[in-house]
Every structure is written in structure tokens, then in C-alpha cells.
């Protein structure tokens, strides 16, 4: 359950235990020109599933956005790996649940464009004074006075996480070692301090070790 100030994002999501990439059979299209057109999809294998709190990963929206940078040959497997950890974007877990890879590419590009736009706006001091619609969710006032926001699906939850990042005053850096994005400043346990050049101490150590070997 993710929190910021007096607001919490309350989101639990079912994740299948196994997923596969299913490609359309070209033979079917050749034999039956009226057959329904299909496209490569992520498909849940079996009914086994477990509940997760995806936003416990404080930078999940950043991780998802980087799927848009994957080469075509790696994109499908990268999406399958993401689904194994966090589930499908807007489809509940059940045997045979599926989403087309085109949906994943579109959503990843949308998230990336949003983040790129916010980075540029911050650099130029051009963040708008008024809010913008990011997604839809239900809101409930809790007994302790907090507002609990409940997104419907994983995609909505990641969009809310992006909004949470903005309101917490965080910036986004790019790791000098691995190239991954990470959050800088603001509030949050996972956030790196202002001026950080690496997403983790592991990446900092790897970079420094490589630099020493190059210099010797």
C-alpha cells in the first residue's frame, strides 16, 4: 500500500503464476481468409495465481516505461517478465487471460512520453499550475482521516504512482552504470538523495570498479 502525506493508494492485484507469448498461426490465416485476425499476445497459463501489492515497488511506473525502449526482438520477453512479477495491465488473472503486445507497447510509450514531458517541464520550470487528468479511481475517506485511492487495474495504479511522484517533488535521474531511471529527492523510502548519479549502491560500486580497471 503506497502512501504520500494524507493520501494512500490502496491497490492489490492478482498475478498469474505463469505466462507465455502466443503468436498467431499464419497457416490458419492462409487456409481461412475470413478467420479472425489475431496478433502476438501475453497469455496466462493455468489458473494458479497469487495476490500482490505492485506499488510496493516504489518506481514501478519508471520500470514499466522503460519497456518502450526495448528492441523489437526483446520486447515480448521483457513484457512477459514484467507480467510474471506484477500481472497483466488491465485484465484480471484467470486461465487464458490475455492482452495483445500492441496494448503493452502503446501503454509503455504513453508512460514514457508522460515522464519525458514532466522531466522537460521541470527543467524549464514549466510545470502547469492546474492539474491534468491522469487516470480514474475511486476515493474513500478512512477513519483516520486519510484519503484511500483505489485504482481499478494495474495500468491505473501505475498512472497514480506517477502522479504521487509528481506531488512528492521528486526528480528523475538516469543511472550512470545501467541507464535505468530512478527517483531523486522528495519523500519516499526508495528515493535516492539529491545529486545521486546511480540507482543503487550496487551500480555505483560496479561503475567505480570498472573505472579503476580502465585507468590501471
CA distances from 50 to 2, 37, 88, 161 (A): 19, 32, 13, 22
- Phi then psi dihedrals of residue 164, to 5 deg: -60, -40
- Phi then psi dihedrals of residue 4, to 5 deg: -150, 120
Which tens digits make up the pLDDT trace of 124-168? Answer: 665 554 444 455 555 555 576 666 788 999 999 999 998 888 777
Q: Which three cell numbers stand for residue 201?
A: 549502491
Which tens digits make up the pLDDT trace of 101-136? Answer: 999 999 999 999 998 887 777 666 655 544 444 555
CA distance 216 to 213: 5
Amino acid at each position: 500500500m503506497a502512501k504520500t502525506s494524507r493520501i494512500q493508494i490502496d491497490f492489490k492485484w492478482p498475478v498469474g503464476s505463469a505466462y507465455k507469448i502466443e503468436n498467431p498461426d499464419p497457416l490458419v490465416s492462409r487456409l481461412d481468409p475470413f478467420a479472425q485476425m489475431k496478433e502476438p499476445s501475453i497469455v496466462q497459463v493455468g489458473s494458479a495465481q497469487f495476490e500482490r501489492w505492485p506499488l510496493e515497488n516504489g518506481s514501478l511506473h519508471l520500470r514499466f516505461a522503460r519497456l518502450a525502449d526495448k528492441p523489437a526482438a526483446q520486447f515480448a520477453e521483457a513484457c512477459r517478465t514484467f507480467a510474471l512479477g506484477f500481472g497483466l495491465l488491465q485484465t484480471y488473472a484467470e486461465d487464458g487471460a490475455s492482452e495483445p503486445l500492441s496494448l503493452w507497447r502503446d501503454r509503455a510509450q504513453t508512460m514514457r512520453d508522460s515522464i519525458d514531458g514532466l522531466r522537460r517541464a521541470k527543467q524549464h520550470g514549466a510545470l502547469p499550475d492546474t492539474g491534468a487528468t491522469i487516470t480514474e479511481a475511486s476515493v474513500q475517506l478512512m477513519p483516520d482521516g486519510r484519503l484511500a485511492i483505489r485504482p481499478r487495474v494495474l495500468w491505473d495504479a501505475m498512472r497514480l504512482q506517477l502522479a504521487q511522484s509528481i506531488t512528492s517533488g521528486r526528480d528523475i535521474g538516469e543511472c550512470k552504470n545501467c541507464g535505468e531511471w530512478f527517483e531523486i529527492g522528495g519523500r519516499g523510502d526508495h528515493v535516492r538523495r539529491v545529486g545521486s548519479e546511480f540507482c543503487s549502491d550496487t551500480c555505483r560500486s560496479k561503475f567505480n570498479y570498472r573505472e579503476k580497471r580502465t585507468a590501471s
